[in-house]
Amino acid sequence: MGELLRAEHLKKYFKTPSGVLHAVDDISFSIDSGDTLGVVGESGCGKSTLGRVILKLIEPTDGRIIFEGRDITRVTDKENIELRRKMQIIFQDPYSSLNPRMSVMDLIADPLKTFRLQSSADRRKKVFELMDMVGLSRRFASSYPHELDGGRRQRIGVARALALEPTFIVCDEPVSALDVSIQAQILNLLQDLQEQQGLTYIFVTHDLSVVKHISTDILVMYTGIMVEKCEAKELFAKPMHPYTKGLLSAIPVPNIDRVREKVALRGELTSPVEPKPECRFVARCPFATDICRREPPTYSEVLAGHFVSCHNVREINGL
């Protein structure tokens, strides 16, 4: 299927008292319709900011966003609101993302009311359909969020995102606040919905095992920059960037007999505030050489469809 969304050299800088924070620094990618792009990285690497910038909930500092063939980087407020009907977001925390004073019915109907789409009777019907779709029993329609558990609350969040029938959804760590058993339910739900409705996802998470099952492509972020991007299978089979290797070897494997070579990452995250002109991973990289301290690496296609930003990627991987 064709390309739905493309980001070109996307940047988002925040002014802070200690300097300019490069939350998202030169990120480019494209997603085909119906695919899922997994965005992984540790806390504070800018992955949530990236999701919001793409949705135009935060104005990008620089770069372009092309959605359905149209440049949406600089649009009027009115067009921006129209975009909400096509692009939606599912939030991380199902507790704080639902207004405690609204019933389930009101919460799911809210986007419909905002756009004055239907009469109130039709809206009720539509809300019930959405509740069926996300597997939320209709008897909860007049319940309040605090009466429901995390999984059900997250289903409300999903239903609300689907209410406007968007084509593209940013899932911002939608399962990281949930119990493991419920995580699987929500992930399955998201996958089913994707198949039924041809949705396109950006799936932001710090949990590699989650992203492995749901993503077509995976983008690994580190302090605002992209360090590696390729197909999901390829990433797990042949991680090339030292940071990705470290991340993957940190996934626990439930097998006591298997001996694995571990790439342990040491040190702390480099601050994304006023970064020095060097590779941002240099302080933690076991393979760092002189050039890594002199200039930032370029992001290049090492193998077909496999992008890495590392000076020594060929040497490290024996290519």
Partner 1 sequence: MKRNKSDAPSALADVTRKRGQWSDVLSRLFRNKIGLLGVIIVLLLVVLTVFAPLFTRYPYDAQSFPDRFKLPDASHIMGTDNFGRDLWTRLLYGGRISLLIAILASVISNFIGVFIGSVSGYFGSKTDTVIMRALDILMAIPPLLLAIAISSSLGSGPVNTALAISLSGIPYSARIIRSTVMSIKDSEFVEAARATGSRHLRVIFRHILPNTIAPLIVGATLGIGANIMAISGLSFIGLGVHPPIPEWGSILADGRAYIRDFWPIIVFPSIFIMLTILGFNLFGDALRDALDPRLKD
Q: 119 exposed, middle or buried (CB, 10 Å; 0-12, 13-18, 19+)?
A: exposed
Q: Which is nearer to partner 1, 53 or 240 (CB)?
A: 53
Subset of residues 82 to 141 that bind partner 1, contact rule: CB under 8 A? 84-85, 88-89, 91-93, 96-101, 103, 110-111, 114-115, 139-141
Q: Give bridge partners of residue 29 from the DSSP assignment.
A: 7
Structure-block tokens of residue 300 = 């290049």
| Helices 120-133, 104-114: inter-axial angle, 10-degree rounding | 120
In angstroms, give the least distance from the CB of 140 to partner 1: 6
Helices 104-114 & 150-162 angle (0-180, nearest 10): 20
Look up residue 85 and give its two tokens: 């009907």
Total number of residues binding partner 1 (CB under 8 A)? Answer: 42
For residue 33, the tally of other CB atoms under 10 A from its CB is: 15
Decide if residue 147 touches partner 1 (CB under 8 A): yes
* Residue 22 interacting with partner 1 (CB under 8 A): no
H-type helices in 138-266, by residue range?
A: 150-162, 180-197, 208-214, 232-237, 242-249
For partner 1, give the closer residue by CB, 89 or 225.
89
Least CB distance from residue 185 to partner 1, whole Å?
8
Q: Is 219 within 8 Å of 50 (Cβ atoms)?
A: no
Residue 38 vs 111, nearer CB to partner 1? 111
Q: Which residue among 179, 274, 295, 301 contacts partner 1 (CB under 8 A)? A: 179
Distance set, CA 175 to CA 143, 160, 305 (Å): 22, 16, 28
Nearer to partner 1, 33 or 103 (CB): 103
Take residue 22 and report the two structure tokens written for it. 């490069």
Span of 126-134, 178-186, 236-244, 263-271 interacting with partner 1 by CB under 8 A: 178-186
42-61 residues in contact with partner 1 (CB under 8 A) are 55, 57
Pairwise CA distance, residues 228 & 235, whole Å: 9
Task: Name the DSSP letter for residue 146.
Answer: G
* Pair 47, 40: CB distance under 8 Å: yes
Among 47, 123, 160, 284, binds partner 1 (CB under 8 A): 160
Per-residue contact track with partner 1, 65 to 84, x per CB under 8 A? ----------------x--x
Check residue 16 for interaction with partner 1 (CB under 8 A): no
Q: Does 163 bind partner 1 (CB under 8 A)?
A: yes
Which residues contact partner 1 (rule: CB under 8 A)? 55, 57, 81, 84-85, 88-89, 91-93, 96-101, 103, 110-111, 114-115, 139-144, 146-149, 151-152, 157, 160-161, 163-164, 179, 181-182, 185
